[in-house]
Structure 1
């Protein structure tokens, strides 16, 4: 009498091959959750999905609808279709704001990330009083953007600012921080860096905790210099943190408002005007809210486009590596 299951080659004759249901799921076969598990998952997600719909998706859809109208926010508006978007093409102030926003993002994002990474590397090592330095760098995170901008006004005011007083005490000419376009833009960038470096440093510091000391020791034994260890060990190992910070800093830079509004109000002569301050002025000063909504929709599309490109290129690079 023969066995229904043949024994594997080389195995004893009395040892039968395990039954199919005893071998467990085959490799690569995805486990399908039960309907009860799916219902439980959606139940846990429901509060977040409701809040997302009420406070993000619904206002976004309403903003798109407002952007197709000619309205001052009072009473019923007049449907104008894509006229508000067509106006953007010939609006010099809008294009100036686009350039300023792009330039602000191109300066603040890499500078804040580089300074944050440098500070994190220093504070991750045996730096004296590193606890104090960490607290000093993280302290601006506890201050709101408006309060930070007010501190910036105290420092950079061209008539009574602390920095201008120090410059004049040294016998140097004062700087037109408010009336000069380049100086005003520089002051906004410097205050923003002071505010953002601490956040970047904190994320990088957490990422550095996951870099094994044996990697640096192996690189040192291979004759790598301090710069080579930083370039070929530290930087690649904090790559996920860099990607996260890049996306967050780009989003923040495109949406910057409070610091610019308090310090310069977009002036002088639109030298520091960014898309959000221009949308605010258009919507709440000149009361052209349909046009302001169109500016906001364009800003959203630009932010999504930059984020999507960065996401795509980062994933492609990781796949290649």
Structure 2
């Protein structure tokens, strides 16, 4: 089968021919119908050799959807031909967090060698993928897999971050969304769908700010030296009750700190490496800073339900698997509007 793999440190992705995987006991093989690209893939591929711990070769793709193609021994409750989205942050399945469906916060996964598909385990950027357990499959129903697959990360991750501070998204409050890329443009829609908060979108790209307006942002602000002042003006000097930084680079982290209100929340979602000092005389009184990770199984179901009623959608650029390297190049250079999806 064809697969998109990272095979050599510093070399970027390649389209290769490999054997199709076979499901073991309790496992399910999917014929992949869609696989999403993510900046996290480039974060991984940009790591120097001494920091890279994900194994080589690595089939990419932690956003995946497909149709059940083959069952391993002992699998029950899953039928051939059914369509599923893959829940990516796999955990041990036994601890307190996993029992609550919050496998994104499993404290044992790393020590047990359990890794998400595409981020250690073979991913969905291929014609077939094996899922380790039926609990990591969420029914797609009649949702279009190509239009939906990115919600497994680009929808689930912002949803998790936003739901955690839903009590701060009250009428009259302000939410600042920094970075209107794959996650940010979905995050804006989620805030609008579940709250009456005013949304201010921030980005360096006028094109992405136009997308922000299309998906529901009330105001857009160019991310430059005057951004903090403009956000303060739009919030009557008080600042924003919630700030969601989907870039996470130092300038955006600094901006988040500059515009969060007293008793507000900053969620640094992007993995750009920015750092914020917090504490007395560092952040506004009562302000909290958090780095949320992915989301729970139940939250993925909720995100897909938002898609079913038309409250959330993803702007998708489609690519064939042979064009995956080009898609990754466009992603790396910030040229993707919304989310890039490979359709094997």
What TM-score, normalized to structure 1? 0.25
Bigger helix fraction:
1
What TM-score, normalized to structure 2? 0.24
